[in-house]
Structure 1
Amino acid sequence: MAIVVIALVALVAIAVLGGAHWYVWRRLVRDTTRAWGPARVTGTAVLIAGPVLMIAAVAAERGGAPFWLQRVLGWPGFLWMALAIYLLLAVLAGEVLRPLLRRFVERRGQAGTAVEETESAAPDETSEGPGTSAPSRRLFVSRVVGGAAAAAAVGTVGYGTYGVLRGPSVKRVTVPLAKLPRSAHGFRIAVVSDIHLGPVLGRGFAQKVVDTINSTQPDLIAVVGDLVDGSVKNLGPAAAPLAGLKARHGSFFVTGNHEYFSGAEQWLEEVRRLGIHTLENARTELPGFDLAGVNDIQGESEGQGPDFGKALGDRDATRACVLLAHQPVQIHEAVKHGVDLQLSGHTHGGQLWPGNFIAAAANPTVAGLERYGDTELYVSRGAGAWGPPTRVGAPSDITIVELASKQA
């Protein structure tokens, strides 16, 4: 039964993907060309190759294909994923502009026709501007709208990709905690999540993240899951710069859902080898507060899910507690266990607008600081990106969370 459901979902997904690409092809290729010349053939080839590469890139990454093949397919395949989204959105927006432009061109055409009749000149069927026949006017409008849509999509994806590759910016947030003693006032935690090292973002990107974090001179570094998309064998060298993380009280790591797609046990061992402490449903006492961490929900598939009782059950409730938990939905258990602050990632802030609306439907908080009962929740947009190395409307960040004592 499960196989049948998976097959049906796959067929629906392929149908939607195919329909969307056909619609984009119709507007950007068929409607802007007169016949099967070089332009139409090239456009058609691009709109066939793009989705094929996209599906191949996802399949190669999730299927554990040879890493060289993942890297070859990754850039064109994942970039097409982003480009296809914005081509579709731009073409849909063009449907609003199309009738307005057509009406404008027709009015200009009527004025031009009157002049032509006075001069006894026959209409030129091959011209594409005002004063032409109806078929030529339609072609002119399609080319203007299609060109604008393609330029908008390419520009959006290009700028969003540049934003990721130049590295995350630093945000600063102050969080007052009622139980925090005066001695811990001003304690600074560098929160980084969703680095997503993989076939696209590699060692150079990891070094940028490390350099950015170290430049803030934090008291503690919290790596809140989704560090990688791939095995230790393939990505160990890419993660090596993390050994250079520096903070007065060290660096700590909790798993995200993608670690369980990538060999969580091996990555936990590798992270420890790099000098980062792992909090696997565990807690440690720091000067002024407790720092706890729980496994990601995805770990339940391997019998390694979150255990709040183990991490928090026997602690001194008079002490402030900061919890590292990859997914914001874990906030409800955190509230029940008296956590003062939960630090999360996972959402990417939506990563590609309008993905923020989808993320909001699945998470209590998409990005930023919100309060739930007596518990504060801070959600980072993350440092990297999954799939397309592109962000639109959700810039990447590393956040310096400064704890404030109400007694100070």
Structure 2
Amino acid sequence: MIVLVLLVPLLLAFWLWWPVTSPGRRPRRWHFGVTLAFALLPPVLGALWRMHALGDVAGAWVQLLFGWVLVAFLLVLPLVLLRDALWLTLRLLKTGVPARALLHGVRLNRGIALAGVLLATLGVFNGLKPPQVHERELALSTLPPELDGLRVAVLADIHASPVKGAWRTRRIVDEVLAARPDLIVLPGDMVDGQVESNAANVAALAELHAPHGVWLAPGNHEYYSNYAAWMAHFRQLGLGVLENQTAKLDIGGRTLAVSGVGDPAFYRRGDLVHDGIAPDIPAVVRQAQGSDFHILLAHQPRLARTAAATGAIDLQLSGHTHGGHILGMDRWLVAPANDGYVRGGYQVGGMTLFVSPGAGQWDGFTARLGVPSSIDVLVLRRADRE
């Protein structure tokens, strides 16, 4: 999959300029050479990162540059498809319009390349800016009356890194606290990088507090960055880390179970994943027995069908998808890769799934267009039963 993604820029460099003949071979070769050099950046930068040739700080900035270039080419792709679809249509209809001169001229194709670069730059800017709070009600048929109105802040996918800096995490924490949630949950991907170089960028998480606690479950990026060290560090910050574990909370005389499970990244042990735990949904179901309402923190939404099949989980809270990043890409690429779940609420059997668009994203693909990052405050409501 990674190889195919890296081939896209190289193929587009040929595709963009090959049909262009005017004003001559030399200008076409010059444009092609510049575009090809640009297209070679992702594999070179990706190789540097994968070889661990750089430290966390330099590596984070290399990832950002890698992502910016890759996004630029991905945004050029639909424009080139549209260009050639119009060219073919005009040729087939024989309208008399000079299709080749109009659509395969240097000026238009410079515009396509420039549009890709500008849109990618806007996307990266949108991805790096701090998220805003989005509050919504979530109707749940199994919610006890005593829990009606419970405010749950979902803070997923911060991906704290040297690029984003401590100030961004500080802003996120301030926004969460200003929303006055009753419960705060962090369903994974809090960090990118090692504890030694990145601890300062998550320090503000220690200030999170809520009447019913702050609870965290791991995401796949914790598995890429020394899982055990990060889980220990999160506990030092005072966060309730749930590793296939359940916390039972007494709220208004009712028992609310909050569980967290490991991430499926565990099954890809090798170059990037060296430790961690496998997700164990049956274990948390056993621990939650006797509770009146059960919330599961599972980073990847594709665990939803397994969770729903137990019949013992009422609400799953997830992240991982970053809402799909870009309109169009969200439904055509990201949703199919995550069992059809990309953002918002879903009914999965008798269980409700909520997928947060996330408060950040990995530096290597940090662009957002039409899908803003989000701090989600869910107000749980008891649905009317007929």
Q: Structure 1 pair 97/57, CA: closer, same or farther in 2 (3 Å)?
A: same
The question of 1:312 aligning with 2:279 is answered: no
For 1:4-19, list aligned pairs within 5 A: 17-19=9-11
What's 1:92 paired with?
Answer: 81
CA distance in 2, matches of 1:11, 1:376: 36
Aligned to 1:36: 26
Which of 172, 176, 187 pairs up with 2:150?
A: 187
Query: Could you say which residue in structure 1 is the equivalent of 2:272?
Result: none
Report whether the alignment pairs 1:325 with 2:298. Answer: yes
CA distance in 2, matches of 1:334, 1:89: 37
Give the distance between the partners of 2:185 and 2:23, measured in 1 at CA: 54
Amino acid in the other structure paired with 2:232: E
Matched residue, 2:347: 371
Which residue does the alignment assign to 1:237?
200
Structure 1 counterpart SS, 2:40 = helix
Change in 2 beyond 3 A, CA 1:71/1:344? closer
Partner amino acid for 1:275? G
Which amino acid in structure 1 is aligned with residue 286 of structure 2? G
TM-score norm. by structure 1 comes to 0.80
1:209-237 CA distance string (max 9 Å, x none) = 22222221211111111112221122222
SS of residue paired to 2:211: coil
Conserved in 1, the CA contact under 8 Å of 2:10 and 2:36?
Answer: no
Contact 1:74 1:200 in 2 (8 A): no
Secondary structure of the 1:85 match is helix
Secondary structure of 1:313's counterpart equals: helix
The 3 A distance-change label for structure 1 pair 154 and 18 is closer
**Separation of aligned partners in 2, 1:99 and 1:307:** 53
Determine if contact 1:51/1:77 at 8 Å carries over to the other structure: no
Residue of structure 2 in register with 1:381 after alignment: 357
For the Cα contact (< 8 Å) 1:219–1:248, is it kept in 2? yes
Aligned to 1:114: none
**Mapping for residues 136-215 of structure 1, pairs under 5 Å:** 138=101, 142-215=105-178
Paired position in structure 2 for 1:58: 46
The 3-state SS of whatever aligns with 2:216 is strand
Distance 1:11 1:220 in 2: 42
Residue aligning to 1:341 = 315
RMSD: 3.1
User: Which AA in structure 1 matches 2:39?
Assistant: P
**Equivalent residues, number:** 370
In 2, the alpha carbon distance for the partners of 1:145 and 1:248 equals 58
- Output one character per residue of 1:104-139: Cα deviation in whole Å (capped at 9) or x when no partner: 9x9689xxxxxxxxxxxxxxxxxxxxxxxx9xx828
1:392 match: secondary structure = coil
Q: Using the alignment, how far apart are the partners of 1:360 and 1:107 within structure 2?
A: 42
Distance change in 2, residues 1:166/1:303 (3 Å):
closer
Change (3 A) 1:242 1:162: same
Task: Please tell me whether Structure 1 or Structure 2 has the larger radius of gyration of its CA atoms.
Answer: 1
Paired AA for residue 70 in structure 2: M
In structure 2, the partner of 1:284 is: 247
Partner Cα separation in structure 2 for residue 357 and residue 260 of structure 1: 27
TM-score, normalised relative to structure 2: 0.84
**Higher helix residue share:** 1
Structure 2, unaligned runs of 5 or more = 270-274
Q: Give structure 1 stretches of 5+ with no counterpart.
A: 1-8, 110-133
Which residue of the other structure, out of 372, 376, 379, is the alignment partner of 1:399?
Answer: 376
The more displaced of 183-192 and 303-312 is 303-312
Between 193-202 and 316-325, report the one with greater CA deviation: 193-202
Pairs within 5 Å for 1:15-30: 17-26=9-18
Report deviation, 1:245.
2.2
Match of 2:185 in 1: 222
C-alpha change, 1:274 and 1:309, in structure 2 (3 Å) is: same
- Superposed CA deviations along residues 344-401 of structure 1, whole A, max 9, x for unmatched, are 0111222133243222222232111111221100011111122232112422212111
